[in-house]
């Protein structure tokens, strides 16, 4: 989603509004399920104040940040890879002395409380994040780095980002709440009937060129919460729902290219790719030629 299109929704969030009032520039943003948001910011030589935000904020420094200071924790030092966990209602003041890129995940208070109850069987009133100014967590950093590196514009980006954001929330609940809760152990994967329903829904959506492939819709087909579905799916198929959908989308595209009845751009559109360039990128990641060359070689081999 283009930053100019979503500046208004982000401005309705406490921290987003505070940054937009400073010299910060919104580079890109993406809405997630339940009112959560991802936002990628550029900032330099300014100040910001977050007053009683109604949402949790997880901040992840992508570049710079060495000269950023939190007034409430003056000894703490930022750097690329460092994170800040700012619970809802936590006041903080920031002085930015250099240029930096950072990513924010904004989580509604209710969403995290419901996740604690549904995923960990924890009293939602105990799902209180600890305020932490500049900390490191390798597991959390890896998840946030994947979110930052993803192309938020491609067709399957919402599915990928939803999955990663759920994993981030689980890690926050497991390791960064006032009352930490261990991650429950997995017991098996999806039941056979649930597997059939989910795979049938994926194939119908891909073959029809439309249909709901959101994490919520796939989880509903399995009668599971989004988080438990994503974990059970990976146990069953040894890959994430996002990876499976990408593989199947590419398979359908290759079949149509090999048939030779449609131009590459039309194949890309029918298979749900936003542009032909996105199909070409998917083919290259699979070690294959461009769509046009793949089609020519397939037809020549008949």
Distance of alpha carbon 289 from alpha carbon 274, whole angstroms: 19
pLDDT score recorded for residue 300:
85
d(CA 84, CA 107): 14
Q: How many C-beta atoms lie closer than 10 Å to residue 280's C-beta? A: 20
Residues of the chain with pLDDT under 50: 1-2
Question: 42 near 96, Cβ under 8 Å?
Answer: no
- For the beta carbon of residue 285, count every other beta carbon within 10 angstroms: 10
Task: Give the pLDDT of residue 124.
Answer: 83
For the stretch 157-213, pLDDT in tens is 999 999 999 999 999 998 998 876 666 666 779 999 999 999 999 999 998 766 789
pLDDT the model gives residue 211:
74
User: Measuring CA to CA, how many Å separate 54 from each of 129, 131, 137, 218, 302?
Assistant: 13, 14, 25, 30, 62
């Amino acid at each position: 989603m283009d930053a100019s299109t979503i500046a208004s929704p982000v401005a309705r969030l406490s921290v987003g509004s505070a940054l937009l009032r400073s010299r910060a520039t919104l580079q890109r943003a993406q809405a997630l399920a339940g009112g959560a948001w991802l936002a990628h910011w550029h900032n330099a030589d300014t100040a910001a104040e977050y007053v009683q935000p109604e949402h949790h904020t997880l901040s992840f420094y992508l570049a710079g940040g060495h000269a950023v200071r939190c007034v409430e924790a003056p000894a703490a030092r930022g750097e690329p890879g460092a994170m800040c966990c700012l619970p809802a209602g936590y006041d903080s003041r920031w002085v930015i002395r250099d240029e930096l890129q950072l990513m924010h995940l904004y989580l509604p208070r209710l969403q995290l409380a419901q996740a604690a109850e549904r995923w960990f069987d924890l009293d939602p009133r105990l799902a209180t994040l600890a305020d932490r100014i500049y900390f490191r967590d390798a597991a959390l950093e890896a998840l946030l780095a994947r979110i930052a590196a993803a192309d938020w514009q491609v067709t399957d980006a919402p599915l990928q980002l939803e999955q990663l954001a759920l994993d981030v929330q689980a890690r926050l609940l497991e390791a960064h709440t006032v009352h930490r809760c261990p991650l429950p152990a997995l017991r098996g994967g999806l039941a056979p009937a649930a597997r059939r329903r989910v795979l049938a829904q994926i194939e119908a959506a891909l073959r029809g060129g439309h249909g709901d492939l959101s994490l919520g819709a796939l989880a509903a087909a399995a009668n599971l919460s989004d988080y438990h579905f994503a974990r059970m799916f990976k146990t069953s198929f040894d890959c994430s729902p996002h990876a499976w959908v990408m593989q199947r989308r590419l398979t359908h595209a290759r079949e149509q290219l090999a048939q030779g009845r449609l131009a590459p751009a039309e194949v890309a559109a029918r298979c749900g790719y936003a542009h032909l360039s996105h199909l070409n990128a998917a083919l290259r990641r699979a070690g294959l030629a461009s769509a046009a060359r793949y089609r020519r070689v397939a037809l020549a081999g008949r």
